[in-house]
């Protein structure tokens, strides 16, 4: 059979997301899902009916237990990811999240034009986070921080361990639990909106680029065209010396 196309791409496999990054990602996703569901329940519990005596039931108790366990997982997982930003590979490096160079900002603008406004232009080639994604993750880390501070701040007066007690200054900063709780609740919506856009964009990149975006968080692999590799056309937002 005659080859219709002169050139069919040969793809190189690149190990982008290391195992700890993948663990972090999925643990984080599970924790956030658990936290959102239990958080909604805590904010506005369902009117569940049961024939059991009140003493036999612990519905809200269990929901809160799950929320608190998930919050600890979320918190330590978050700390671990910060650590991995210093020891992981170039795609996991902390520099890929913070717009510190002109290159980074230029690249953000390029991604904005190509992927969001969908203007015509040279396709941007990155196999780690692109600059825009990196910056958005940087914002999510701030959201993580806000949730950890307000969440453990609210928990501080209930907890017996010293760790949550370290956060007791947070409600004092906001003038009490009422405002702290509201901030905690509002900030949750950022996670929901982020998750929706995040999942959509994974589909989008996989669909448009065909480089294995979706499966990369499973095996860690992404694929890059041989000529892109040879011509060194791919980017990371910031340079990392290793």
Partner 1 sequence: MSNEIIPTQQPTYYEEVQRKGYSRRDFLQFVSMMTAFIGLENTAIGQVAKALETKPRVPVIWLHFQECTCCSESFIRSSHPIVADILLDKISLDYTETLMAASGFQAEEAMQNTMKKYKGEYILCVEGSVPTGADGVYCMIGGKTSLQILEEAAENAKAIIAWGSCASNGCVQSAKPNPTSATPIHKLVKGKPVIKVPGCPPIGEVMAGVIVHLVTFDRIPELDRLGRPKAFYSKRVHDTCYRRPFYDAGLYVESFDDENAKKGYCLYKVGCKGPSTYNACGVMKWNNGTSFPIQSGHGCIGCSEENYWDNGRLYERGSSFAGFGIEANADTFGKVALGVTAAALAGHAVMTNVRKKKLIRQVEEEGKQNEQELKS
- Among 56, 88, 111, smallest CA distance to 220 is for 88
In the bound state with partner 1, the residue whose beta carbon lies nearer, of 93 and 209, is 209
Contact between 123 and 100 (Cβ < 8 Å): no
Mask for 50-89, x = binds partner 1 (CB under 8 A): ----xx-xxxxx-x--------------------------
In the complex, the smallest distance separating the C-beta of residue 43 from partner 1, rounded to whole angstroms, is 7
Whole-angstrom Cα distance, residue 17 to residue 98?
A: 19
Task: Give how many residues touch partner 1 by CB under 8 A.
Answer: 49
Q: How many CA atoms lie within 13 A of 120 on its CB side?
A: 0
Whole-angstrom Cα distance, residue 122 to residue 40?
A: 44
Asked if 112 interacts with partner 1 (CB under 8 A), we say: no
Whole-angstrom Cα distance, residue 14 to residue 92?
A: 14
Q: Is 79 helix (H, G, I), strand (E, B) or coil?
A: helix
CA dihedral 92, 83, 32, 210 (to 10 degrees): 10
Looking at 33, 166, 200, 218, which residue binds partner 1 (CB under 8 A)?
200
In the complex, the smallest distance separating the C-beta of residue 108 from partner 1, rounded to whole angstroms, is 18
Distance of CA 145 to the CA centre of its chain: 12
Asked if 3 interacts with partner 1 (CB under 8 A), we say: yes
In the bound state with partner 1, the residue whose beta carbon lies nearer, of 26 and 169, is 169
Asked if 208 interacts with partner 1 (CB under 8 A), we say: yes
In the complex, the smallest distance separating the C-beta of residue 23 from partner 1, rounded to whole angstroms, is 28
Whole-angstrom Cα distance, residue 149 to residue 174?
A: 11
Asked if 185 interacts with partner 1 (CB under 8 A), we say: yes
Residues of this chain that interact with partner 1 (CB under 8 A) are 1, 3-5, 8-9, 43-45, 47-48, 54-55, 57-61, 63, 116, 118, 120, 123, 157-158, 168-169, 172, 175-179, 181-182, 185-186, 188-189, 192-193, 196-197, 200, 204, 207-210
């Amino acid at each position: 059979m005659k080859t219709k196309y002169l050139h069919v791409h040969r793809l190189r496999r690149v190990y982008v997301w290391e195992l700890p990054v993948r663990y972090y990602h999925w643990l984080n996703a599970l924790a956030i899902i658990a936290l959102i569901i239990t958080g909604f329940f805590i904010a506005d519990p369902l009117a569940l009916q049961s024939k059991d005596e009140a003493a036999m039931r612990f519905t809200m108790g269990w929901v809160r237990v799950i929320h608190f366990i998930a919050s600890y997982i979320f918190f330590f997982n978050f700390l671990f990811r910060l650590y991995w930003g210093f020891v992981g590979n170039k795609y996991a490096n902390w520099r890929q999240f913070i717009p510190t160079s002109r290159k980074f900002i230029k690249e953000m603008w390029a991604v904005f034009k190509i992927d969001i406004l969908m203007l015509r232009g040279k396709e941007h080639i990155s196999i780690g986070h692109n600059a825009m994604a990196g910056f958005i993750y940087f914002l999510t880390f701030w959201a993580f921080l806000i949730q950890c501070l307000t969440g453990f701040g609210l928990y501080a007066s209930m907890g017996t361990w010293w760790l949550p007690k370290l956060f007791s200054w947070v409600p004092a900063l906001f003038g009490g639990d009422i405002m702290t709780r509201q901030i905690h609740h509002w900030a949750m919506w950022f996670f929901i909106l982020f998750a929706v856009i995040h999942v959509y964009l994974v589909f989008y990149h996989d669909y448009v680029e065909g480089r294995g975006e979706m499966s990369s968080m499973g095996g860690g692999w992404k694929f890059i065209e041989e000529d892109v590799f040879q011509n060194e056309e791919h980017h990371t937002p910031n340079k990392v010396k290793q």
